[in-house]
């Protein structure tokens, strides 16, 4: 506590310890005897010129008399105070009752907000009701020139823009950029050639300015653009479309997983190197997984569950019933011509069919020359069309769709076939069982089962009523579970949740 003394002609002086603040304890029990100077302001305590800071042993100079006027004094400017009773306090005399209090005990009260709490609650509610000043800006980045992820980005961008968001697409395909701009969506074509293309990454950087969400859709974009989002102050969302072929066979497989001819060292690197890197990158933002099978796989391999969201692809229905069967029937498939897609198994199965048929293969890849040679050797009626931009109308001309893939996520090609109301024959791997229900909208066969695939094709094509029923069921399933509007609403809800969490 402080010490009091005398200075000059008996004026009280107060010394205080370091770290304490002199606080006057007013006495309210003395009767007010007058109204000395009711309108006079209190004087400031004299400060030192060197910063105005009191030190140990400094004296507080006496202040002249200052009275608190009595409520009953009759002065016209007198207003009763609710905190002080109508008594007098003589400041110079009260200096004998100064006490030292720690500064840390006083500062919280001094610095506390004086605004009424009910006003803060009302303002917060008003801000919640107030609409966004501007729409959420979403930048989609896909460095693939073709394939299912690019088709998904195109459809998703249009659907999200229809929900009222500001959408900008960065893609590698100039034609896709022109199509998006023709539909009212801003798009820029930038070529990113490999995972270490710093020039391509620097070209993406200025397009992320002002973005609220950056949504990437392939491994190159996830490595080069996803990491730029936090620097730009945006939320990062990455759609995990797939895995390397050496690991894809383990996704949703109920038996022995298919493995291509790869060394144990490469498989070990992919499992304990690449997957661990993807798991670490998932902490940058949120990861969207299209199929439940792939979701279970990444959870088993170290991905954090709190960062994962399951949202499937969405494709619009083009027709609700298949057209009458052609003569001869037209069997079709659409895929990248790699060994993982199992087109070689489809050629073997078609060679075993007893009735005439036509096989149409849409897509291109490294295995195309070998598959064409196999088709000539088996003498199948196969036509390889390569990559086509208008896959939907091409599928409308088919009678049945087959995709005997050895490993997959959630094939967009199957969704496109369901949009054309086609029966689908696929393998029991990856997310295929989430799209095709055996005997309802198609058939499911085992991986590399040539006889089972041939029997499923015969079973579908020999009964027109069954084929029609399977096609209608597929279109209805697509409408109920994979409609692009419902998928876009789930994506928009995710964006709103991320943006709301940062405010």
The structural domains of the chain, with segments of one domain joined by +, span 1-112, 137-314+485-501, 330-482
User: What is the per-residue pLDDT for 194?
Assistant: 86
pLDDT for the residue numbered 119 = 54
Mean pLDDT of the chain, nearest integer: 80
Task: Look at residue 110 in the predicted model and tell me its pLDDT.
Answer: 56
Apex 448 CA angle, 447 and 450, nearest 5 = 120
For 154-191, write each residue's pLDDT tens digit. Answer: 999 999 999 999 999 999 988 889 999 999 999 999 99
More confidently predicted of 52 and 280: 280
Residue 440: what pLDDT? 94
Q: Which secondary-structure segment (H or E) carries 236?
A: strand 235-239
Radius of gyration in angstroms for the set of CA atoms belonging to the chain, rounded to a whole number: 38
CATH number of 330-482: 3.40.50.2000
**Rounded Cα distance, 175 and 171, in Å:** 10
Residues 6+ apart with CB under 8 A from 340: 245, 248, 249, 258, 260, 405, 406, 407, 408
Q: How high is the pLDDT of residue 100?
A: 55
| pLDDT at residue 501, rounded to an integer | 77
Q: Is 330 helix (H, G, I), strand (E, B) or coil?
A: strand
**How does residue 390 score in pLDDT terms, banded at 50, 70 and 90?**
confident
d(CA 11, CA 95): 9
Instruction: State how far the Cα of 120 lies from the Cα of 125, in Å rounded to an integer.
Output: 9
Structural fold of domain 137-314+485-501: Rossmann fold (3.40.50)
Q: With the C-alpha atoms ordered 422, 425, 430, 434, is the resulting torsion angle positive or negative?
A: positive
Say if residue 401's pLDDT is above 50: yes
**pLDDT band per the 50, 70, 90 thresholds, residue 20:** low
What are the tens digits of pLDDT across the range 315-335?
Answer: 999 999 999 999 899 999 999
Residue 150 has pLDDT above 70, yes or no: yes
pLDDT single digits (tens) 436-493: 999 999 999 999 999 999 999 999 999 999 999 999 999 999 999 999 999 999 999 9
Model pLDDT, residue 436: 96
Between these two residues, 209 and 119, which has the higher pLDDT value? 209
Q: Is the pLDDT of residue 258 over 80?
A: no
Measured CA to CA, the distance from residue 485 to residue 491 in angstroms comes to 10
Residue 54 has pLDDT above 80, yes or no: no
Omega of the bond leading into 328 within 30 degrees of 0 (cis): yes
Task: Return the closest-CA partner of residue 18 out of 79, 123, 77, 102.
Answer: 102
Domain 137-314+485-501 and domain 330-482, same fold? Reply is yes
- 41 pLDDT exceeds 60? no
Q: Check residue 130 and give its pLDDT.
A: 46
Q: Give 74-111 pLDDT, tens digit per residue.
A: 544 444 444 444 444 444 555 555 555 565 566 556 55
pLDDT-derived band at 18, boundaries 50, 70, 90 = low
Residue 146: predicted pLDDT:
84
């Amino acid at each position: 506590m402080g010490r009091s003394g005398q200075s000059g002609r008996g004026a009280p002086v107060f010394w205080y310890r370091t770290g304490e603040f002199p606080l006057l304890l007013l006495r309210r029990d003395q009767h007010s005897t007058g109204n000395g100077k009711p309108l006079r302001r209190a004087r400031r305590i004299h400060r030192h010129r060197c910063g105005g800071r009191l030190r140990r042993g400094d004296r507080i100079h006496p202040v002249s008399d200052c009275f608190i006027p009595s409520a009953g004094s009759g002065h016209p400017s007198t207003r009763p105070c609710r905190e002080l009773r109508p008594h007098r306090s003589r400041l110079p005399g009260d200096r004998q009752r100064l006490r030292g209090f720690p500064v840390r005990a006083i500062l919280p009260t001094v610095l506390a907000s004086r605004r009424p709490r009910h006003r803060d609650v009302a303002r917060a509610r008003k801000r919640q009701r107030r609409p966004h000043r501007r729409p959420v800006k979403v930048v989609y980045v896909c460095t693939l020139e073709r394939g299912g992820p690019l088709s998904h980005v195109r459809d998703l961008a249009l659907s999200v823009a229809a929900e009222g968001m500001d959408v900008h697409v960065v893609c590698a395909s100039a034609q896709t950029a022109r199509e998006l701009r023709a539909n009212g969506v801003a798009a820029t074509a930038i070529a990113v050639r490999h995972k270490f293309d710093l020039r391509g990454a620097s070209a993406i950087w200025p397009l992320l300015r002002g973005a609220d969400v950056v949504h990437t859709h392939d491994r190159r974009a996830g490595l080069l653009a996803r990491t730029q989002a936090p620097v730009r102050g945006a939320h990062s969302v990455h759609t995990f479309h797939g895995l390397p072929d050496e690991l894809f066979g383990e996704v949703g497989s109920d038996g022995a997983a298919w493995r291509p001819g790869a060394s144990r060292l490469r498989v070990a690197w992919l499992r304990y190197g690449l997957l661990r890197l993807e798991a670490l990158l998932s902490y940058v933002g949120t990861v969207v997984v299209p199929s439940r099978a792939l979701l279970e796989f990444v959870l088993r391999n170290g991905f954090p569950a709190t960062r994962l969201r399951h949202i499937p692809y969405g494709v619009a229905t083009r027709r609700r019933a298949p057209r009458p069967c052609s003569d001869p029937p037209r069997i079709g498939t659409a895929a990248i011509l790699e060994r993982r897609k199992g087109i070689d198994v489809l050629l073997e199965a078609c060679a075993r069919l007893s009735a005439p048929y036509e096989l149409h293969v849409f897509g291109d890849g490294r295995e195309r020359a070998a598959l064409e040679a196999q088709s000539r050797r088996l003498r199948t009626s196969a036509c390889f069309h390569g990559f086509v931009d208008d896959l939907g109308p091409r599928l409308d001309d088919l009678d049945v769709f087959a995709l005997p893939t050895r490993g997959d996520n959630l094939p967009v090609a199957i969704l496109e076939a369901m949009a054309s109301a086609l029966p689908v024959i696929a393998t029991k791997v990856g997310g295929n069982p989430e799209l095709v229900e055996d005997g309802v909208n198609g058939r499911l066969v085992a991986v590399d089962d040539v006889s089972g695939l041939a029997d499923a094709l015969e079973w579908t094509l020999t009964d027109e009523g069954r084929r029609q029923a399977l096609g209608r069921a597929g279109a209805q399933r697509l409408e109920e579970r994979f409609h692009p509007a419902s998928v876009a609403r789930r994506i928009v809800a995710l964006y709103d949740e991320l943006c709301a969490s940062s405010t």
